[in-house]
Amino acid sequence: MNTIICGLQWGDEGKGKIVDFLTEKADLVVRGQGGNNAGHTVIAKGKKYVLHLIPSGILWDKQCVIGNGVVLDPVGLCREIESLEAEGVPITPDRLLISDRAHVVLPYHRELDAAREMSLGDKKIGTTKRGIGPTYADKANRIGLRLADFRDPAKARELIETRLEEANRTLEHHDLPTFRAGDVLVEVEAAIDRLRPHFTNVIPVVHSSWKGNETILFEGAQGTFLDIDFGTYPFVTSSNTTSGGACTGSGLPPTAIDRVVGVCKAYTTRVGSGPFPTQNDEIAEFFHSRGMEFGATTGRPRRCGWLDTVLIRYAVMVNGVTDLAVTILDGLDERETLKICVGYNIDGEIHEFPPAERDHWDKVVPIYQEMPGWQQSTSGCRSYHDLPAAARNYLARIEELTGARVSYIGVGPDREQTIIR
């Protein structure tokens, strides 16, 4: 049974925790897109881990793969490996395989990311400044470097020199420091050498796992509305975060996929700029005062709001969600009344789906349905029937509005605080 786990909102839905929970019964965990813009939190045996590039499966001594669709920052990955190893999690070449087709995030990508953001002024995307956009842009422009290119350092140097001709012109234009190929290589050399034993052609490995009827999990990064095609463009990331990205990013075909678990919070959050119709400052204050909803990668406070089922319904369709995982239900425990957005009013017209036109987002007036809260703690609940009736009604309403079955419910950040229905 091979399962894609993907986010249905704007990222940070709790994918890391759900992947960790499902990994116990898996053989292989694969990341197929994104980079270290992701921050996946797992709390296991009282210890907190935040994973950026390494699949969350690593905490279970399972084999993990970083696929061709990921953009890989070698220095960032080495830092992550060191911090996991310091926590007693060994990262050996047989446990972490990295596709030699993955594109490499280089120091100038991060500078170009920052330069673009600066020049956008108050229209900035609010990126994680990890160089993700410029690295995917180089891939699409056919001027990127893949890990395989570093097998021949002289060739890598030549490719970087060519790329820098244009990149330096852009940086000069922004009065930013330019790069020399030699310095770029020096900066990444040690990291590349450290990672070299992990680089491989992962295709035979993932295919033999599939053909051997092993269980493969695909760990999505970001969320549906950050998807470059289906998200709130241009306020998106630069990869396909929806389920299709798992296939193109790993080399496993759609016929290998049995199930898609869509992860959504019981409410909505977003980091960075862009539309967010159900945003609500009072709810943000409610979570922030409890130390919740700060970004796992950048530490930025997340914007917060009510659950938006216009988004979830659409996300269920484009991802082919077979099962919903609703996380942080416990986050709503204290609330007296809950609101669910069931439709968008745009210029007096009712819309059931998110608009494509950028200026329509500013005009969205959410149509809300109110539901009673349960005002008791759910964090100790371990079965669906332990949940208060009002919580079960809330979940049932999500199912009605989105057309997907709620199969997992998160009632706390710990591994154990997950209900299987």
Using CB under 5 A, which residues numbered 39 to 98 contact Mg ion? 39
CA distance 65 to 224: 22
Task: Centre a 10 Å sphere on the Cβ of residue 415 and count the other Cβ atoms it contains.
Answer: 17
Using the rule CB under 6 A, is 113 a contact of ligand GDP?
A: no
Considering only the stretches 37-45, 62-70, 88-96, 397-405, report the one whose residues sit in contact with ligand GDP under the rule CB under 6 A.
Answer: 37-45
Question: What amino acid occupies position 339?
Answer: K
Nearer to Mg ion, 296 or 324 (CB): 296
* Residue 327 binding ligand GDP, by CB under 6 A: yes
Among this protein's residues, is 323 annotated catalytic?
no
Q: Among residues 40, 52, 109, 198, which one is catalytic?
A: 40
The distance of closest approach from Cβ of residue 270 to ligand GDP in the complex, given in angstroms and rounded to an integer, is 12
Residues 6+ apart with CB under 8 A from 281: none
Out of 216, 296, 341, 404, name the contact with Mg ion by CB under 5 A.
Answer: 296
The stretch among 6-14, 131-139, 149-157, 386-394 that binds ligand GDP (CB under 6 A) is 6-14
- Contact between 355 and ligand IMO per CB under 6 A: no
Q: If residue 413 lies in a helix (H) or strand (E), which one and from where to where?
A: none
Q: Which is nearer to Mg ion, 249 or 251 (CB)?
A: 249
Question: Stretches 62-70, 119-127, 151-159, 359-367: which one binds ligand IMO (CB under 6 A)?
Answer: 119-127
Size of the site for ligand IMO (CB under 6 A): 24
Is residue 264 within the footprint of Mg ion (CB under 5 A)? no
Interface pick for ligand IMO out of 6, 145, 271, 283 (rule CB under 6 A): 271
- Which lies closer to ligand IMO via its Cβ, residue 266 or residue 387? 266
Please report whether residue 133 would count as binding ligand IMO according to CB under 6 A: yes
- Among 2, 222, 250, 327, the residue binding ligand IMO under the rule CB under 6 A is 222
Alpha helices in 1-151 (DSSP H): 15-23, 74-86, 107-120, 132-141
Angle at 96 between CA 90 and CA 97, to 5 degrees: 160
- Cα 377 from Cα 389, distance rounded (Å): 13
- 37 forms part of the interface with ligand IMO (CB under 6 A): yes
Strands 303-305 and 268-270 come out as antiparallel
Neighbours of 113 (CB within 10 A): 23
Q: What is the length of the chain?
A: 421
Report the nearest approach of ligand IMO to the CB of residue 317 (Å). 20
E strand or H helix at 323: strand 323-327
Contacts 24+ apart (CB under 8 A), 162-168: 163/108, 163/138, 164/108, 167/108, 167/112
Under the binding rule (CB under 6 A), the answer on residue 301 touching ligand GDP is: no
- Annotated active-site residue 40? The verdict is yes
How many other β-carbons are positioned within 10 Å of the β-carbon of residue 190? 12
d(CA 105, CA 58) in angstroms, rounded, equals 22
- CB 55 → ligand IMO: shortest distance, Å? 12
Element (H, E) at 87: none
Site of interaction with ligand GDP (CB under 6 A): 7, 11-17, 39-41, 43, 296, 327-328, 330-331, 410-413, 417
Catalytic residues: 12, 40
